[in-house]
Chains A and B, each alone.
Chain A
Amino acid sequence: MKRAILFSLPLLALSAPGWAEQHDHATAAQVEPADPAATTTAAQQEVMDHSAMEHGEMEHGKMDMPVDQEPMAHSQMDHGSVPMPRQEAPMDASKMDHASMVDQSPIPAGPPPPEAFSAPAFAADEFVGADKMAASRASVVREVSGVPVYWFQADRAEYRAREGKDGYLWDVQGYYGGDIDKFWFKSEGEGNFGEKPESAEVQALWSHAIAPRWDIQAGVRQDLTGPERTHAVIGVQGLAPYLFELDAAAFVSNKGDITARIEGELDQRITQRLILQPRAELSLSAQDIPELGIGAGLDRAELGLRLRYEFVREFAPYIGVEQEWKVGKSADYARAAGEDPSVTNYVVGIRLWF
């Protein structure tokens, strides 16, 4: 994470005005000569010709509210208009002098008077009909506070060029639900072209908001390749200070193996549409799992950098590079299987959501 911050700093410093992407001034352009029809439309809106009004005939007595004649200079207003800051925090008294002109006697907070609680609960019920209003109320409540939302995102869907056989990778997720509770799914996998996938998994999770920017997620993960494995999942996902998107999860397999994964991404805007995204992922294991080629401790590390262009917010192709290392015992397993424990991928892909 630290490394990613340091990485982002040179970009922030690069605030050269020269090629800054400006917002679109086109809407402010000089408008074309008038369409006579538009003039007519505007003229139709002139609804009253006051020059024709006879002001002398008006009677003050006929008005509901007497026009107040009390003279008041605007210079006086300026002083009177000092706010009455009812703030709790201490405030420099010297700034408050002017305010003493205004009545500051405190108004007590308190519950409403008893008659404010007199029936009926819903005023329209007895006029419109209680059933009709109950149905209407329910539908407005649903519309305003409760419509579930679906979201699907392919964060990475990419072609990976590398030494040996080129490969592919997908990393998608989405949800369906309300503000607090959601059904969340994730799927990721990768492999080489012409071979069966190296890894593929799906997760089905219940997601619950525990903080303004954090969800806790729990559920199951099913591996679709290699030896049959099902895992229980518990994790957190959210937005950390400095706008890092984090996703950390621990897994317990049906064989009793405990593993964990932590991923972090940071969107670094270069222009409104060109975005550089550093990304890091670490895989950890509590034990050796030889049949999966996983060694205890830090098993795998990935560091990637992707540059995407958002044609629209929803659709952005990208290019990038990703380095992955198998570490420690995992590296030994990889070498034993005739694989290189360190691989550099040159990637091209798309990021999309809807």
Chain B
Amino acid sequence: MTSIDRRKFLTAGTASLGALGFVGAMPAWARGTLDGTLARRGSDVLSGDYQTMTVADAMFTTGTRRGPGVTVNGTIPGPLLRLKEGQNLVVDLVNDSSMGTSIHWHGLLVPFLMDGVPGVTMAAVEPGERFRYEFPIRQAGTYWWHAHTLQEPMGHYGPIIIDPAGEEAHSYDRDYVVMLSDWSPMHPHTIMKKLKVADAPFNFQKTTATDNYPLSGAERRMWARMRMMPTDISDVSAPLFTYLLNGHGPEDGLEFAFRPGERVRLRFINGAAMSFFNVRIPGLAMTVIAADGQDVRPVEVDEFQIGNAETYDVIVEPGAGDAFTIVAEAMDRSGMGLAMLTSRPGLRAQVPPLRDPPLLTMADMGMSQGGAGSMTGMDHGEASAGGAMDMGSMSMRDTSLLPPNVKVGPGIDMVAMNPVDRMGDPGTGLKDVGHRVLTYKQLVAARMNPDMRQPTRLKEIHLTGNMERYMWSFDGKKFSAVTDDPIRFAFNERVRVKLVNDTMMAHPIHLHGHFFELVNGAPGMHQPRKHTVIVQPGGSAQFDLTANEPGDWAFHCHLIYHMHTGMFQVVTVRPLDGGEG
């Protein structure tokens, strides 16, 4: 009976996908000619020194959507690795899927050969092959793992929790992982192609003659004159994506249980391919205690924005409340992921409506006169109305502002005129929500940083792109142009890296194999350590890096289609034996 049902299911899935015209782009297994088993939602827990992780093709369903997915050990997300600082880990990766694969241990300090990036640290593990990862666990905190291939948006990711060798800094009664992700029934190759050939094909929140956006006619004409859209917030959004919490869509009724009076630790991981989320639990304050796995001084907020690949650990105290809604609203507010924090199974709190979609501002065009302005009391970021006409006469692409190493060409459609530090910015659309929203400036490392030397060198890197052609790059150069000309650091060199965002999109930039310290105004010894930093549109961000992990490391935007269309670089740390010398 089960097998009959499954065949029926596969047939139905194929028919609906065929009607949408995806058949040509889908591999044979996804059309039901091979055994594509249905992915289970949610993770199993793996702990101990030795694990096997098996990648397989699958069908995934959520709500009314179904399409191709990739499972690891049968689930989406894949297994939760529950580890202990100081242990050794051996993972045999078995590829039973139809594509090349790999696992990258996001945020973990590993020898570079174990980092799992095809073309940089290993060759892809081809179908039928195995690969053994083996490394010591040198840290504690919340991390995750994912494929460094286009299997990632299909479901190949999962959480990692590492318990400290010593004392946990906070006490709590329950410990939950909340892994946010986005899943679409459309194959990643098809999505990427549509992004290339069409102009924002997945955006159904564009300005129109009948919209409710607070924009004057003059502002609308200014945007049209610049050939840009104030609604260019997310390249791929809810019309295509279902937003998942631990693999569960909004209709699944995912619940996290608590008893009155308990302290609950929630470990938010943004494992999405293309989505930033605004996370809040209406009626409940969240105390942020860790960012990217690293403990920070507790800071109480009502909402935070989490970029792709970032993690935030928070503690909430639901008290005697019945139920609270965990809302992960996509940054462009086209949809949300949902779960319930409940004191009794089945209890439901109100689900807030989607808020109005945000608009980009002058600051997002790199035209901010005073930064995010929160310290000065002048909110220049919101000044889109007042500034519109003055800015209309300015060049959006004055390439003389770029340093000489940036390759100028059709791949750059904008140059930030005045890219100011935007670490005080809560993120697109969150400036005036009327409650406390986390900013990078509020992050202060709980412990002293291991290296407090003043950097000896400043390395500036520009994030560049062309929305229209969907080209993305660092310093105007795509990945093909940089494999022979990487970003070079000397072993143990202390460098300040300044990222300048010459685009109107926020990019979550991730450096493999290292933590870096955000230059966010915190005292040097307490600058927060992160593995991923959001660089706000038209703004800049700086971090201090001690390049003490020899080898080659991927450095890229964590929006997967930005990475896969060129915003990808290699960082080398030499000499290779630097660690031993």
- Do A and B pair up? The answer is yes
Q: Determine the chain A residues whose CB is within 8 A of the CB of B176 once the complex forms.
A: 42, 45-47
| Residues on the B chain within 8 Å of A135, using CB | 123
How long is the Cα–Cα vector from A16 to B210 in the complex, in angstroms? 6
- Given A65-B448, A313-B201, residue A239 in contact with residue B468 (CB < 8 A): yes
Also in contact, A212 and B348, with CB within 8 A (given A41-B41, A72-B444, A123-B572): no
Question: Which of these binds chain B: A183-191, A221-229, A250-258, A266-274?
Answer: A266-274
Shortest beta-carbon distance from B160 to chain A in Å: 12
Q: Give the CA-CA distance A164 to B551 in the complex, in Å.
A: 76
A335 to chain B, nearest CB (A): 41
B25 CB to nearest chain A CB (Å): 10
Contact A209 B217 (CB under 8 A): no
Partner of A60, one of B167, B238, B338, B418: B167
Classify the secondary structure of A's interface with B: loop
Cβ-defined partner of A39 (8 Å) among B119, B255, B478: B255
Contacts of B44 in A (CB 8 A): 44
Cβ–Cβ < 8 Å partners of B165 in chain A: 62-64
Is A15 located at the chain interface by the 8 A CB criterion?
Answer: yes
Find chain B residues with CB under 8 A from A353 CB.
Answer: 197-198
Name the residue in A21, A30, A116 with the highest tally of chain B Cβ atoms < 10 Å from its Cβ. A116
Size of A's binding interface in residues, CB under 8 A: 125
Check B478–A144 contact: CB distance below 8 A. Answer: yes
A145 to B484, CA, bound (A): 14
List the A side residues contacting B466 at CB < 8 Å: 212
Count the B residues whose beta carbon is within 8 Å of the partner chain — how many?
Answer: 160
CB-contacts of A146-164 with B (<8 A)? 146, 149, 151
In the assembled complex, the CB of A311 is this many whole angstroms from the nearest CB of chain B, namely: 12
Q: B164: shortest Cβ distance to chain A, in Å? A: 7
**Closest partner residue, chain B, to A214 (CB atom):** B410
Verify if B320 is at the interface (C-beta below 8 Å from A): no
Q: Report yes or no: A29 in contact with B351, Cβ–Cβ below 8 A.
A: yes
| B242-283, CB < 8 A from A | 243, 246, 248, 250-257, 265
The answer to whether B221 and A62 touch across the interface, beta carbons within 8 angstroms, is no
**Any A CB within 8 A of the CB of B174:** yes
Give A218 to B330 CA distance when docked, in angstroms.
44
The answer to whether B208 touches A269 (Cβ under 8 A) is yes
Is the Cβ of B353 less than 8 Å from the Cβ of A25?
yes
> Do the beta carbons of A270 and B488 come within 8 Å of each other?
no
Q: Are A12 and B221 in contact (CB under 8 A)?
A: yes
B486-537 contacts to A (CB < 8 Å): 488-491, 493, 496, 498, 519-526
Q: Which of A12, A95, A122 contacts B376 (CB 8 A)?
A: A95
Which of A101-109, A198-206, A288-296, A338-346 is near enough to bind chain B? A101-109
Tell yes or no: B8 within 8 A of A by CB. Answer: no
Q: Is the CB of B113 within 8 A of A124?
A: yes
B566 near A144 with CB under 8 A, answer yes
Q: Which residues of B contact A43 (CB under 8 A)?
A: 257
The residue in chain A whose Cβ has the minimal distance to the Cβ of B338 is A31
Q: In the assembled complex, which residues on chain A have CB atoms less than 8 Å from the CB atom of B346?
A: 33-34, 36, 39
- CA gap between A14 and B220 in the complex, in Å: 12
Q: Please, which residue of chain B has its CB at the minimum distance from the CB of A212?
A: B413
Q: Judge whether B227 and A241 touch: CB under 8 Å.
A: yes
B552 touches A47 (CB 8 A): no
Interface bits B44-82 vs A (CB < 8 Å: 1, else 0):
110000000000000000000000000000000000101
Q: Are A25 and B354 in contact (CB under 8 A)?
A: yes
- Closest Cβ–Cβ distance, residue B556 to chain A (whole Å): 9
Q: Does B563 contact A (CB under 8 A)?
A: yes
> Most A CB atoms within 10 A — which of B167, B369, B459, B573?
B167
Q: Which residues of B contact A21 (CB under 8 A)?
A: 208, 210-211
Task: Return chain A residues, CB-CB under 8 Å to B221.
Answer: 12, 242
Question: A89 → chain B, closest Cβ, in Å?
Answer: 5
Residues of A with C-beta under 8 A to B354: 23, 25, 27-28
Asked if A112 meets B457 with Cβ closer than 8 Å, knowing A23-B357, A144-B568, the reply is yes
Report the Cα distance A273→B206, complex, angstroms.
10
- B36 on interface, CB distance cutoff 8 Å: no
Contacts of B135 in A (CB 8 A): none
Of the residues A23, A64, A127, A179, contact of B471 by C-beta under 8 Å: A179
Q: Check: A141 CB closer than 8 A to any chain B CB.
A: yes
Check A28–B353 contact: CB distance below 8 A: yes
Determine if A11 and B339 form an interchain contact, defined as CB atoms under 8 angstroms apart.
Answer: no
Q: Which of A77, A122, A209, A273 contacts B444 (CB 8 A)?
A: A77
Interface residues of A in 7-62 (CB under 8 A from B): 9, 11-17, 19-21, 23-25, 27-36, 38-39, 41-51, 53, 55, 58-60, 62
| B345 in the interface (beta carbon within 8 A) | yes
Q: Is the CB of A89 within 8 A of B418?
A: yes
Nearest-Cβ distance from residue B476 to partner chain A, whole angstroms:
11
Which of B45, B123, B212 contacts A20 (CB under 8 A)? B212
Task: Point out the residues of chain B lying under 8 angstroms from A337, CB to CB.
Answer: none
B210 and A124 form a contact (CB under 8 A):
no
Q: Which of A41, A55, A65, A272 contacts B254 (CB 8 A)?
A: A41
Tell me whether A103 and B206 are in contact (CB under 8 A): no
The yes or no answer to A1 lying at the interface (CB within 8 A) is no
User: In the complex, are the beta carbons of B572 and A116 less than 8 A apart?
Assistant: yes
Check if A124 sits within 8 Å of B122, measured CB to CB.
Answer: yes
Q: Which of A44-99 contact B (CB under 8 A)?
A: 44-51, 53, 55, 58-60, 62-68, 72, 74, 77, 80-87, 89, 91-92, 95, 98
Q: Name which of B89-97, B304-312, B419-427 contacts chain A.
A: B419-427
Say yes or no: B82 contacts A47, CB within 8 Å: yes
- Cα(A72)–Cα(B466), bound, Å: 44
- Enumerate chain B residues within 8 angstroms of A213, measured Cβ to Cβ: 227, 413, 468
A132 within 8 A of partner (CB): yes
Q: Which of B208, B375, B525 contacts A272 (CB 8 A)?
A: B208
Q: Shortest beta-carbon distance, B272 to chain A, in Å?
A: 15
Interface contact A87-B418, CB-CB below 8 Å? yes
Q: In the complex, which residues of chain A have a beta carbon less than 8 angstroms from the beta carbon of B489?
A: 112, 116
Q: Are A27 and B175 closer than 8 Å at their CB atoms?
A: no
Interface residues of A in 103-137 (CB under 8 A from B): 103, 105-110, 112-124, 127-128, 132-133, 135-137
Q: Distance (Å) between the CB of B541 and the closest chain A CB?
A: 10
- Provide the bound-state CA to CA distance between A9 and B220, in Å: 10
Asked if residues A38 and B254 are in contact (CB atoms below 8 Å), the reply is yes
Q: Which of B194, B334, B375, B447 contacts A23 (CB 8 A)?
A: B334
Residues of chain B with a CB closer than 8 A to A108's CB: 456-458
A209 touches B469 (CB 8 A): yes
Q: Which residues of A contact B166 (CB under 8 A)?
A: 58-60, 62-64
Contact A41 B498 (CB under 8 A): no
Nearest B residue to A146 via CB reads B480
Nearest chain A CB to B524 CB, angstrom units: 7
| Residue in contact with A31 in the complex, picked from B251, B484, B552, B573, CB distance below 8 Å | B251
B88 within 8 A of partner (CB): no
Chain B CB within 8 A of A286 CB: no
User: Interface code B97-129, partner A: CB below 8 Å = 1, 0 otherwise?
Assistant: 000000000000000110000111111100000
Question: A49-B174, A109-B458, A123-B576 are known contacts; what are 12 more A-B pairs with Cβ within 8 Å?
Answer: A14-B210, A27-B354, A41-B246, A42-B246, A48-B163, A50-B173, A50-B265, A59-B167, A123-B112, A139-B119, A270-B210, A314-B201
**9 residue pairs, one from A and one from B, having the closest CB atoms:** A140-B119, A58-B167, A63-B166, A81-B521, A145-B480, A212-B413, A83-B421, A136-B123, A209-B410
Selected A-B contacts with CB under 8 Å, 5 pairs: A25-B354, A81-B521, A83-B441, A95-B370, A243-B227
Q: A residues within 8 Å of B by Cβ?
A: 9, 11-17, 19-21, 23-25, 27-36, 38-39, 41-51, 53, 55, 58-60, 62-68, 72, 74, 77, 80-87, 89, 91-92, 95, 98, 102-103, 105-110, 112-124, 127-128, 132-133, 135-137, 139-141, 143-146, 149, 151, 179-180, 209-214, 239-243, 268-273, 313-314, 353-354
